[in-house]
A = this chain, B = another copy of it.
Amino acid sequence: MNKREAILETAVSLFAEKGYNQTSMQEIADGVGISKGSLYSFFTSKEELMISIYEHYQQLVFERVFIIGLDEDLPPLQKLEKQFTVQFEGILEYKAYMKMHMRGEAATNSKKISAMEHRMRGRLFSWLEKSLVSLYGEELSAYKWDMLFMIQSIYRTYMMLMVSGKAKISPAKIGKHIVRQLEAMAIDFIRGNSHPILDEEMMKDFVVEMDKEGVFISFEKREQAWKTFYTKLKDLEKSEASSLKEIANRISEETRKSRPEMVVIKGLFALLKENGEIAAAAKVLENEILSE
């Protein structure tokens, strides 16, 4: 078994349970069943261990949302609902990690860790913002910020409930529920029953801070590869594209699993590469995925 991953898993569950500062490297080593010295041969510091945790899990939890976002056939509301659903599926799967992240306590120790946590929160924000804009466009601008903050807070609350294990709720139900809340809010604003209290001026600093971290613009390499691939796919004629997209979706599904089967992924990519026009993009994407 991969020792590095065993360390990450143990560390995550200890950090989630007792907190970053309250967990010693010795405890982590004991938990994995190795010595402190060995632990330090994998991660040169506690900080690096924490950063590796973020690098390892962040992608796993958020990529699936991004990929659904690329699917242009789904109507916006349904797409958002599906995104929330897979998001909550991810949360359920990586409970301990989300719990650790939600404590947000490690951030106080290190600039780097703080930047990662901040960035992760920013990602959620950025995604929600894009979704809101694509749903309501111009009409939205006046109450965009209030909706962003309110929906994000509701999202976080259900996430918290899920992670704490107190309520066993199906991801699909929460997805539906949150989207309905979003709609109800939007309607109330549009009808003029609700009035926004946040505005562009107030949020100026906030936007600057987000931009500084690059959350509104940057993409991970892997996500970029997906994007390029889907763009290529769109250029193909309909009939051909849809079957290829099904294959691509199956790949994305496989990568989401905690223990993806490499053979399956390779096989699916082999199918994709049979089409000359997208072979190159598929190759790039494959490398990006298999390099993990």
Contact = CB atoms under 8 A, between A and B. Distances in A.
A206 B166 contact: yes
Interface residues of A, number: 40
Nearest to A108: B19
B194 A181 contact: yes
A147 to B, nearest CB: 11
A146 B169 CA distance: 12
Interface in A149-185: 149-150, 152-154, 156-158, 161, 166-169, 173-174, 176-177, 180-181, 184-185
Contacts of A198: 161, 167, 169
Contacts of A22: 108-109
A180 B184 contact: no
A202 interface: yes
A197 interface: yes
A203 interface: yes
Contact of A197 (B21, B169, B188, B195): B169
14 contacts: A21-B21, A22-B108, A22-B109, A105-B105, A105-B108, A149-B157, A150-B157, A153-B153, A154-B154, A167-B198, A177-B197, A180-B188, A180-B193, A184-B185
